[in-house]
Amino acid sequence: MTLLDEDRLFPTDHGLRALARQLYDTVKDLPIISPHGHTDPRWYAEDQAFPDPAQLFVTPDHYVFRMLASQGVALTDLGVPRVDGGATETDGREIWRLFASHYHLFRGTPSRLWLDHSFQHVFGIDRRLSAETADWYYDHIADCLARPEFRPRALFERFNIEAISTTEPATDDLRWHRMIRDSEWNGRVITAYRPDGVIDPEMAEFADNVALMGEQTGFDTSTWAGYLDAHRARRAFFKEVGGATSTDHGHASARTEDLPHDEAEALFAKALAGTCSADEADAFRGHMLTEMARMSIEDGLVMQIHPGSRRNHNDAVMAAHGRDKGYDIPGRTDYVTALRPLLNAVGMDKRLTLILFTLDETSYARELAPLAGAWPCLRLGPAWWFHDSAEGMRRFREMTTETAGFYNTVGFNDDTRAFCSIPARHDVARRVDCAYLATLVGTGRLAEDEAHEVAHDLTYGLAKRAYKL
């Protein structure tokens, strides 16, 4: 018995399935390009063993623990840390048993595919997780984790990762990236410049972060000019020390502005003083996207916008456990009006690459494909987060390809903090893309030789080129 069907995610029609498999066979072993994600660089720097199965698979993965929470399981019983340092379950085995006894909740979800993929391919497991097999699983995985071939660097190599990007705040010291660079290990782990904490006036630590950026760069970040110079310096530092090729921006909306100098300067002063209204804070964030785009034209960093999440929907969970705990809920997101100021300021400059993501699938065919199918700077990031799934990817291709084609997209991003899910997620993307391409061929919309070329591009070439890797 195996956990995974060899032909999973392929079309069920016999001919299409054969063609999908044929396409997949040519791309399944290509190296992984992971240009956007949230793995911890410390793993690769220190190369310590992962502590236990629960801390590998349950406690850090908001896809996993939010599903259990949705059926009434307390986050503390899953070991999710408390902000106040209060008690949470620390016995990995107990957490694992709780997880295992709820494993049926994941039926039909991508988490189930990722977990089974990890269990089978990383840990060689051949039986289904359940309350009955929970202890066997725990012992087996714990035993593996103690061995050197399950350390982060060994897995990195086994996963055939050619390059992976982590994401660090603008004020990060990049110590782990330095440590990786200074080590004898040659895995390519790079960073991405994520300046939300020094751009969003509504973050509590905004002024402190800006001041820190001043100290780090020697610029007077109490002035608008100095603040912009400090960004330039930090971006250069991220490029040089962390190998960054991209920036990332996680605003609530895609709003951009292109304000006159005086207005931007005045807003910045208010932001520092903490006196921005909600709309002014939003305008400032929007204007900074345009400033970031201008800097990207100068320094070549590829820009990514990840809008649309209404963060921290659950006050109680936010108070007890902090951010990123499964209660970030998407909302409607406009791109057409929102991006216009930035695009009209810098959107025709060929040096700019701006990759758009969305949590609002209604924008695929209506807004994102028409925008990316016309503006030269724009590219579409892959199906993201809640849509990083077989159906989500299928809808992405079906709703964007006809207007934007394949060459205004950028391949796959795993965007994950769950290390073992990386090969699983890329495998899902490769299978779904091959299934889609086989369907196009089978319905006379693409020739077979073209499908092979496109399969390679979607798996490898587009990500590498778009992210300059």
Least distance (Å) between residue 12 CB and a second copy:
5
Question: Nearer to a second copy by C-beta: 22 or 403?
Answer: 403
Least distance (Å) between residue 433 CB and a second copy:
11
Least distance (Å) between residue 175 CB and a second copy:
34
Nearest to 270 by CA among 232, 222, 341, 228: 222
Q: What letter represents residue 153's amino acid?
A: R
Least distance (Å) between residue 336 CB and a second copy:
5
Question: Nearer to a second copy by C-beta: 185 or 386?
Answer: 386
Least distance (Å) between residue 186 CB and a second copy:
34
Q: What is the dihedral of CA 318, 190, 110, 458, to 10 degrees?
A: 140
**3 state SS of 279:** helix
Least distance (Å) between residue 57 CB and a second copy:
17
Q: Which residues contact 7 (CB under 8 A, 6 or more apart)?
A: 17, 21
Tokens of 411: 């391949």
Q: Look at strands 309-310 and 329-330 and give their pairing.
A: antiparallel
Question: Nearer to a second copy by C-beta: 71 or 186?
Answer: 71
Radius of gyration, alpha carbons of the chain: 22
Question: Nearer to a second copy by C-beta: 270 or 395?
Answer: 395
Nearest to 253 by CA among 292, 283, 290, 293: 283
First and final CA of the chain: distance in angstroms?
39
The count of other CB atoms within 10 Å of the CB of residue 159 is: 19
Question: Nearer to a second copy by C-beta: 296 or 389?
Answer: 389
Question: Nearer to a second copy by C-beta: 35 or 392?
Answer: 392
Asked if 375 contacts 343 with a C-beta cutoff of 8 angstroms, the reply is: yes
